[in-house]
Structure 1
């Protein structure tokens, strides 16, 4: 089921506090989709428990941790710099080889194939916190009970609902890019590689099968779980808590949540991002850590990235002033 006509019809009439028109629709995803999604969510957490038990006093714990950090950086920046800032918002232009490398790295995060990911995120920006938004925490209303239910929906529940986002509408540019189509089709194989590479690295470094298995758990499954929940927290927590220094579109409640800034590579400066979606930097103030923007700056200096959309200081100050004048509930 795609975006309902009812949701599109009512988005302009939305009052900002009522449940979305489609909130009462609970068409579950197919058993196959639900099963795959559930497996991806549950198995890494099981691995966390097993990994803690195996790592207790183990000599290879430091190796596993370093590998986990390395693969978290690789796949996380693949999502934030590749999937999000490059492919979704076109915040910069990358050399063809870099575009493919970032797309491959992001695909190894277990967050879906890149074309579907981009389509869903563009739809989120088109209908932020209004009817049609695929993962708004305000789907069930702005009251306490509705927000608690909406928080679960925005974080995880939306993936278990049969609400397909049409890629022909939201990502036609990627469908027309043969390289991106090939990477999208390779998503299952890249997921296998995302788990196999830590296993091989752990085995090679430790010289034992046991070292490969513990690396598989920590740098593979546990790393996947952490990155997924950090990404999902931007969808959920960064629309509920935090501060909103910049003006955004009507009903858009995106926030800046400093606590997630480091783990999310700057993605949790979400209000700054929603105020200027095409900017390559989301942390608009100097003290706001944004590792993704730092990597893009590095690419720019080496000539791998061009046409980078950096924030306009005067424009952001106007948006800050507009926000300060806006009603507290706006």
Structure 2
């Protein structure tokens, strides 16, 4: 993995890049740290499933959790990210409102706050000012471990610099529909947490069914989606493949592609942020792009910024797919 140069100030007061570090000196330590950081909690969650089957987990819980994961997850990827943050496509008014509500169901912050933070991330990606770069503490394995934790979730409550919506999301502040959804974020959160329980209770006609649906369809679903989303900030800026030239350390991580609905093709995204498709190479599954394609066919989305072959070719770092 090629590291992006860190910026420092020399004796003349001008900004200059520091010498690049040896990537071989930290490769294994980084990878071991990342995989332990991601897979141990997920393995613990996976191990709980067979033990709970027939007691605390049912087919009803799985269906409810999957539906809410799909709707809220695509609300983040297609809505908050590709539409509201980067303008990868234009949405008609009903779809725009629906995407704002669907993304809010993920409980990752209100639409205006989420977009402002992400635009700030792109402006300063992996440099000073980035709210969640895993490289903020250094390049040795201890600093990377600390940085991974910070980029993954700690920045949400440790970052003292609050992003200004007036600076990073003035267009959304001018949109009355978006402001209204943003204002009702608290009520949407309550719906996201309580609706699975209500549905589970009505389907099973029991309080136990409501309780298990709340556990799996609300708590576990939200936790899993949070960690998948946060992994784009942490994992996808630490390991993976660099297929396109970028000024930061964004990388493609194939094993996160399905749960993240294509967001983990992160290297291309940072090379071409407004592109509606992130998985542009052969075999790169991008569910979010397929959903946008469906919206376009239905006439709900227009002016979709699909990949441009010449622009992509100019940014390729090698010719191997």
Residues of 2 paired with 1:264 and 1:16: CA distance? Answer: 34
**Counterpart check, 1:78 vs 2:81:** no
Q: Which runs of 4+ in 1 moved over 3 A?
A: 7-18, 51-56
Alpha carbons of 1:229 and 1:59: their partners in 2 closer, same or farther (altered >3 Å)? closer
Alpha carbons of 1:12 and 1:227: their partners in 2 closer, same or farther (altered >3 Å)? farther
TM-superposition CA deviations, 1:203-235 (whole Å, max 9, x none): 111111111111111011100000000000000
How many positions carry a matched residue from both structures? 287
**Could you tell me the TM-score, scaled by structure 2's length?**
0.84
**Counterpart check, 1:159 vs 2:162:** no
Which residues in structure 2 correspond to 1:144-183 (within 5 Å)? 144-161=141-158, 162-183=160-181
Residues of 2 paired with 1:158 and 1:60: CA distance? Answer: 33
TM-superposition CA deviations, 1:139-185 (whole Å, max 9, x none): 01222222111111100111122220111000000011111111111
- Contact 1:14–1:130 (8 Å) recurs in 2: no
RMSD across aligned positions (CA): 2.5
Give the aligned partner of residue 292 of structure 1.
288
Question: Secondary structure at 1:138's aligned position in 2?
Answer: coil
Give the aligned partner of residue 257 of structure 1.
253
- Contact 1:16–1:130 (8 Å) recurs in 2: no
Residues of 1 paired with 2:166 and 2:203: CA distance? Answer: 45
- Contact 1:17–1:141 (8 Å) recurs in 2: no
Give the aligned partner of residue 142 of structure 1.
139
Give the aligned partner of residue 18 of structure 2.
15
Residues of 2 paired with 1:230 and 1:16: CA distance? Answer: 33
**Counterpart check, 1:204 vs 2:202:** yes
- Contact 2:8–2:17 (8 Å) recurs in 1: no
What's the offset of the Cα at 1:8? 11
Give the aligned partner of residue 105 of structure 2.
108
**Could you tell me the TM-score, scaled by structure 1's length?**
0.82
Give the aligned partner of residue 121 of structure 2.
124
Alpha carbons of 1:59 and 1:187: their partners in 2 closer, same or farther (altered >3 Å)? closer
Alpha carbons of 1:146 and 1:14: their partners in 2 closer, same or farther (altered >3 Å)? farther
Q: Which runs of 5+ in 1 are unaligned?
A: 1-6, 19-44, 326-330
Give the aligned partner of residue 311 of structure 2.
315
2:63 counterpart (61, 66, 89):
66
The worse-fitting range, judged by mean Cα deviation, of 101-110 and 51-60 is 51-60
Question: Secondary structure at 1:191's aligned position in 2?
Answer: helix
Residues of 2 paired with 1:263 and 1:17: CA distance? Answer: 33
TM-superposition CA deviations, 1:293-322 (whole Å, max 9, x none): 0000000000000000000122212211xx
- Contact 1:17–1:142 (8 Å) recurs in 2: no
TM-superposition CA deviations, 1:44-79 (whole Å, max 9, x none): x9xx79x85993423861110111111000000000
